[in-house]
Amino acid sequence: MDIRKGIIFSTITAVISGISIFLNATFMTKLIKDPYLLTSTRNIIVAIFLSALLIGVAKWVHLKKLTFKQWAQLFLIGIIGGSIPFLLFFKGLSISQAAAINGAFIHKTLFLWVAILAIIFLKEKLSFWQAGALGILLAGTYLAGGPKTFNIGQGEKLVLLAVLLWTIEFIIAKQILKKLPSLVVAWGRMFFGSMILIGFLFFSHRLGNINGLNLTQWSWLIGTSILLFGYVTTWYTGLKYAPAAVVTSILTLGFPITVILNSIFVTHQFGSKQIIGVILICLAVFVISKIRLARKDLELQHARI
């Protein structure tokens, strides 16, 4: 397992995530009021992008070799990763500005949930120093942009449920990625997810609203779809090559990016508390990555003996 490759791709994912969440919370949820229409249309676009890429790089031949169990796993990922949590997440963010801020923070606690399940189901090891780094990471995340007052309202509950579903998805995906290319798994997530979302739009009488989107809305949709496309492909590549707990910890780097962008373009404030939080996040992610790399190098040395 090339952990360095996984860390690099996970870092790219974090950058994309930080930009995407800022754009979604600040612009997209205002430009397209219906969160279900927004996330469904964008996921459908990403599914089209991934299908084109799958054909373009000839990875589609892997689909012929999939077993029934693997098809079922991809479909499951489409449900708990590529459809339902997206509806929950963006609905939660759209409820209020407070829910958007709290939701962004809740989303960044993903690394804790994944670390817990990775220890239980993936048998990933967590050293004392890694556990300490995770604690620092949580503290840094809160200082960087955690809410001043944290109320668990409807929006926050929806986001938390989405995060828990994504946590389960990542654990399942980590197992599938042992035998399948990351692009195939990413395609399964978005393709089957988009099929479910199309069904949701149809039965909720929203499917026809796609025709009512104007040029500005389509421009933003395509732009943010490109970001989501980049997020999904780099995320699954990172998850294939690095431990789940490490990958999701690195993803937390996206939160300072969201906070910085929000400070520049919205609040025009960036206090010492946020600066300390950003430093702690970067320090914790560095420690977690270095510890895992050192452990891998030690394992390779023992293997040569």
pLDDT digits (tens, 9 = 90+) for 50-91: 999 998 887 788 888 999 999 999 999 999 999 999 999 988
What is residue 134's predicted lDDT score, i.e. its pLDDT? Answer: 94
The structural domain count of the chain equals 1
Cα angle vertex 204, ends 202, 206, to 5°?
A: 65
CA–CA distance, 199 with 205 (Å, rounded to integer): 10
pTM of whole model > 0.75?
yes
Give the SS3 label for residue 218: helix
- State the average pLDDT over residues 145-161: 85
- Domain carrying residue 64: 3-304
Give the C-alpha separation, 216 to 8, whole Å: 34
Overall average pLDDT of the 151-177 stretch: 94
pLDDT tens string 199-223: 999 999 999 999 999 999 999 999 9
Q: Higher confidence at residue 146 or residue 280?
A: 280
Cβ-contact 232, 223 below 8 angstroms: no
pLDDT greater at residue 294 or residue 180: 180
> Which position has the higher pLDDT, 303 or 22?
22
State the Rg of the chain over Cα: 19
Token match 């943010």: residue?
224
Phi, psi (rounded to 5 degrees) for 194: -70, -35
Cα 23 to chain centroid distance, Å, stands at 15
DSSP structural state of residue 210: G
**pLDDT for residue 298:** 52
List phi, psi (to 5°) of 124: -75, 140
Mean pLDDT of 264-287: 91
Backbone angles phi, psi at 32, to 5 degrees: -120, 105
242 vs 149, more confident:
242
* Structure confidence at residue 304 (pLDDT): 52
Nearest to 146 by CA among 27, 273, 263: 273
How far apart, in whole angstroms, are the C-alpha atoms of residue 238 and residue 227? 16
CA distance 263 to 131: 30
**Which of residues 150 and 290 earns the better pLDDT score?**
290
Q: Which pLDDT score is estimated for 94?
A: 79
